[in-house]
Structure formats: C-alpha cells, structure tokens
Amino acid sequence: MPTFRAPRGTRDLLPPERRAFARLERIAADLTARYGYRPIETPLFEQTAVFERGIGEVTDVVEKELFRLAPRSDESESWALRPEPTAGIVRAYVQHGMQTLPQPVKLTTIGPMFRYDRPQAGRFRQFWQFDVEAIGDPGPAVDAEIVELGLRFYGDAGLGGVEVLLNSIGDPVCRPAYVAALADYYRDRASLLPALERDRLDRNPLRLLDSKDPAMAAVNAAAPRITERLCEACAAHFSAVQAHLAALDVPFRLEPSLVRGLDYYTRTAFEFYLPGREGQQQALGGGGRYDGLVELLGGKPTPGIGFGIGLDRVVLALDEQASDRAGAADAGGADAAAPVAVVVGADPEATADRLRVATSLRAAGLAARAELAVRKLGRQIEAAARDGAHFAVIVGDELADGNVQVKDLQAGTQKVVAVADLARELTRAHGAHRHGVREQTPE
C-alpha cells in the first residue's frame, strides 16, 4: 500500500482519461461557440451564503453535501467549495452589472464541482461539469434551444441512447398550493416515510418527490402531480416549450416526479438520462429555469435557464459503449502526445546532438522526443515503436556530413536524409501515411 492516496471520492485523471475529458471540453467549446455562449470562469469557492441562499438551505446539496472550508480565526467570512456552477455565475452576473449588456447573457464554463456525498460508482466528491447559462430570457423558445444544445453535446461526443426527461415545476403563483397538497398527501402516509424524509416534510415537501430512498418509490408513484396544477401562465409556458422541442425534432418524455435537487428552479426542469445504467449513474446531466435566482442573489428580477452535464459519467458511459462495440476507439481518441519521431543514437555521450535534432523537429511543428537514456540502439528503437512513433531518427557518424538515418517503424524501411530536409521529409511521409497515400520513394 502506498503511503498517500488521493482523497476518498476523488480520482487522478491519468493521461488516457484526461485525454477523454479534453476531447469533451473541445466538443463543448465548439458547440457553445456556435450557439453564442461565451466562456466564464468563477472561483472554485464562494461565500457560503451564495449557495445557501441560491440553492436553498433545505436541499441535499447544501444540507448534507456542501464542502465547507474551515474558517481561519482571523477571517470572519465563511466559504464553501462550489457544488454546482449556476449560483457563482449568477453572483458574477449581478456583481459585474451584466444586466446592462444585451440580454440574454449566454455564458458557459467547465470545471470541477465538489459535493461531500457518500462516494460510490459514478458518484464522486470532486467531479466535472460542462455548464451553460442563458440569463435574461424568459423563454419558452430558449428553453427548447438549451435542451437541444445539451442533447447535441452527447451526440457530438458519440454517446448513443440519451433521453430527455421534461417537467414543469411551476412558479411562486402555483407552486405553493401544489406543495401544500403534496404535504397533506405525505402527512396522510407519514408512517410509510423514512425518518429523514419525515423530518423534511415540514420544511420542504417537494424534496421528498426526488428522494433517492428506494422506500419512497411506491409512495411517490401515486403523489399529486404538479403538471395537473400549473397556473395558466406556467401551463402555457410548458406547452410552448414542448411545441418548440417538437419543432426542433427533439424527442422528450414527460416525467412528473422530476423536481431537480435545487430550490432555485422554476417552470422548466429537465434531465438527460441514459437508461440501463446503475441507479443514479443514469443521470448524465440536468438543468432548468431559475427565474427567481438573480433576485435572490441581490440583482433585479431576471429570468434565466441553464444546465450542468456531468463529464465523469459521460466518459464512463462512452467507455462502456466502446467496450460493447468490438474494436472501437477508446473515449479519448488519438493520443496527440504520441511522437511522430523519436531521435535515437548509439553514442551515450551524444545527448546534445539528439536533443538538437528533436528541437529542430519540434520547432517545425512535429511531435518529437529524443531518447536520452543510456541503452542499446536496438532497445531505443523498440521503445520508440512501443511509444507509437512513426519514425526513429538515428543520429550517428553521418551527422558529421549533415545526415541522419530515418527508419520508418511502420513500413520497416530505412534511408539517409539530410538534417536540413528532415522536418519537411517527415511531415510529408507522415502526412502521406495518415491520408493513406502509398509511398513511391525509391530506397
């Protein structure tokens, strides 16, 4: 056992997995740019009140899962690591007066989130989210546009079978009466409720609807449905969202028990869902409208909507789908750091020569590595092949005449090339190989 390990619930993203994340980051960046979202970066921690007020105190995320930072005696503020990005982004929107910009302000971010949750498969204490927020548009068209964007992300990533679950959770006009009816329903069945849920019943009955406790499933199946009690404005909004989704050919399924874990949501709530995986791991992302949040965090009343997509689960699901398909590429795609060429040589003293040749190749834009270890030439060439290199550049006595030997590790051929022509020659041969053009060069 090593002395130190990554903290419980966290993991090291080793290069193949980091590459899979980087690929998703590129897809997200491409996609959001096309939809007019601009990147934003907010701190990984905020004043605790930003989350307590924004997300709500009687939520799993704040009540049980918030990573609070121990205050130092000389500082009176209390901080917590962000469990989700929306509250921090809306705090920034208010702080920087973004209400004066053309609305909606469309923002996107990608980064780690922190929840002090019980670690298990697909549930980590540090995980990554790709997030978009459109602040300042009351919808309903933008609601559908955002759901379509989220679904397209999975498609571009190559993940099949993702479904959209959709609900409306009303607004301050219609929700209070619904919540009261729901509380009555649960009170009549109090003896069936687990202790934690009974405890929350008086404080936030809506939370019981999305309880993860299996004992709640039967009780919840027959609970009153908010969509049957929406006020006129919310009902019109909800049906317009559905009409826009249909116009965009986005399939969705209505899910009346979907309330999302956070207090700030109003009206549209949605989740991206991959059936067939274990429990919570099926939830690949989710979002919703938060028309009260800007005001809660000190701004003028401003509507908003957004989603957070969990990248860890997308990478896991991509790996699963890839291993279901024989011979499929891994989730990361090609290894960009695999060298095109490795510069090798038999003389253990000639490391400067090998570095110089490698440096000139890199300056010309090629991925090149110099072999600096003291070992036999044959071993160096074997290691280059194992590293995925296309060429071994052998630096030896010919260097005095300005030449090196180039061994094509894939074709098994070898020839003399002038150092002055090396970068051009390798680029041409590597490019031709990649595009499948047959080489005609005489030996």
Q: Is 380 in the site for ligand AMP (CB under 6 A)?
A: no
We find the least distance from the C-beta atom of residue 12 to ligand AMP, in angstroms, to be 15
Q: Is 115 in the site for ligand AMP (CB under 6 A)?
A: yes
Q: Token digits for 6?
A: 């990554």
Q: Is 306 in the site for ligand AMP (CB under 6 A)?
A: no
279: left (phi > 0), else alpha (psi -120 to 50), else beta?
Answer: left
Q: With respect to ligand AMP, which residue has the nearer C-beta, 67 or 124?
A: 124
We find the least distance from the C-beta atom of residue 60 to ligand AMP, in angstroms, to be 8
Q: With respect to ligand AMP, which residue has the nearer C-beta, 82 or 115?
A: 115
CA-nearest of 307, 304, 306, 308 to 94 is 304
Q: Is 123 in the site for ligand AMP (CB under 6 A)?
A: yes
How many chain residues interact with ligand AMP (CB under 6 A)? 17
**For residue 81, what is the DSSP state?**
E
Q: Which of residues 266-295 bind ligand AMP (CB under 6 A)?
A: 283-286
Distance CA 140, CA 17 (A): 37
Q: With respect to ligand AMP, which residue has the nearer C-beta, 110 or 406?
A: 110
Give the 3-state secondary structure of residue 146.
Answer: helix
Q: Is 124 in the site for ligand AMP (CB under 6 A)?
A: yes
Considering just the CA atoms, what is the radius of gyration of the chain in Å? Answer: 28
Of these, 256, 261, 299, 332, which contacts ligand AMP (CB under 6 A)?
261
Of these, 308, 332, 339, 345, which contacts ligand AMP (CB under 6 A)?
308
We find the least distance from the C-beta atom of residue 331 to ligand AMP, in angstroms, to be 15
Helix H or strand E segment including 267: strand 266-273
Distance CA 86, CA 61 (A): 13
Instruction: Please report where in the chains the tokens 């971010």 appear, as a residue.
Output: 109
Q: With respect to ligand AMP, which residue has the nearer C-beta, 130 or 186?
A: 130
Name every residue whose Cβ is closer than 8 Å to that of residue 319 and which is 6 or more positions away in sequence: 20, 330, 331
Q: With respect to ligand AMP, which residue has the nearer C-beta, 57 or 77?
A: 57
Q: Is 391 in the site for ligand AMP (CB under 6 A)?
A: no
Q: What is the DSSP string of 1-39?
A: --S--PPTT-----HHHHHHHHHHHHHHHHHHHHTT-EE
Q: Token digits for 45?
A: 């921690």
Looking at residue 44, its amino acid is L
Task: Give the ranges where 284-341 is alpha helix by DSSP (H).
Answer: 293-296, 311-324
Cβ neighbours around 396 below 10 Å, total: 16
We find the least distance from the C-beta atom of residue 98 to ligand AMP, in angstroms, to be 23
Dihedral sign of CA atoms 312, 26, 22, 67 in order: negative
Of these, 17, 46, 117, 353, which contacts ligand AMP (CB under 6 A)?
117
Selected range binding ligand AMP among 119-127, 191-199, 353-361, 391-399, rule: CB under 6 A? 119-127
Indicate the length of the chain as a whole number: 443
Q: With respect to ligand AMP, which residue has the nearer C-beta, 129 or 242?
A: 129
Selected range binding ligand AMP among 124-132, 223-231, 388-396, 422-430, rule: CB under 6 A? 124-132
Helix H or strand E segment including 111: strand 105-114
Distance CA 196, CA 185 (A): 17
Q: Is 207 in the site for ligand AMP (CB under 6 A)?
A: no
Q: With respect to ligand AMP, which residue has the nearer C-beta, 316 or 429?
A: 316
Of these, 53, 200, 313, 407, which contacts ligand AMP (CB under 6 A)?
313
Q: Is 310 in the site for ligand AMP (CB under 6 A)?
A: yes
Distance CA 49, CA 31 (A): 33
Q: Using CB atoms, what's the residue nearest to ligand AMP?
A: 310
We find the least distance from the C-beta atom of residue 207 to ligand AMP, in angstroms, to be 13
Which residues contact ligand AMP by CB under 6 A? 84, 115, 117, 122-124, 127, 129, 261, 283-286, 308, 310, 312-313
